[in-house]
Amino acid sequence: MRTFTVPALGLLAAASLATPGAMAQSDDALFTVLNPTGNPPPIERRAMAERPEGLDGRTIYLVDVTFNGGDLFLQEMQKWMQANMPGVNPVYRIKRGAYSADDPELWREIQAEDGLMIMAIGH
């Protein structure tokens, strides 16, 4: 957890916003406050996945993380691929759990098929 030393006046000004009419004077008093966000873990850099030479004969998983409208978007992509990319097998799947949750069963299926993946992430 990180700590910061701030002038008391800053703390009192913040307190006065929360409590109307409660303004106080401070000269050089300092307070040490804690930052509850802590320190993030270091980020491990990884190389990007290699691009396939082509898509013909490949299975492309269209993975929905259940963000509003993502299912409709991916299902339209699946229809388009079926109509315009006859050599590709598009497969629509819904990922279990929240966006950041692991879904080992789905990952095993994609790996067993040597599939490619498009994941619809909202925002």
Tell me the C-alpha distance between 28 and 7, whole Å. 7
Range of the domain at 15: 2-35
Residue 99 is assigned to a structural domain of this protein: yes
State the total domains in the chain.
Answer: 2
pLDDT at position 64, please? Answer: 94
Rg (the chain; Cα; Å):
26
Q: Mean pLDDT for each consecutive 10-residue tract of the chain (123 residues)?
A: 58 50 58 77 89 94 91 95 97 91 95 93 73
Residue 53 domain-assigned (yes or no) = no
pTM: 0.62
Q: Do 70 and 107 fall within a single domain? A: yes
CA distance 108 to 120: 19
pLDDT of residue 66: 87
Query: What is the pLDDT, as a whole number, of residue 123?
Result: 64
Q: Give yes or no: residues 30 and 63 share one domain.
A: no
Asked whether residue 63 falls in the same domain as residue 116, the answer is: yes
> According to the model, what pLDDT value does residue 75 have?
96
**3 state DSSP class of 62:** strand
In a shared domain, residues 27 and 64: no
Question: Is residue 48 one of the residues assigned to a domain?
Answer: no
30 lies in a domain? yes
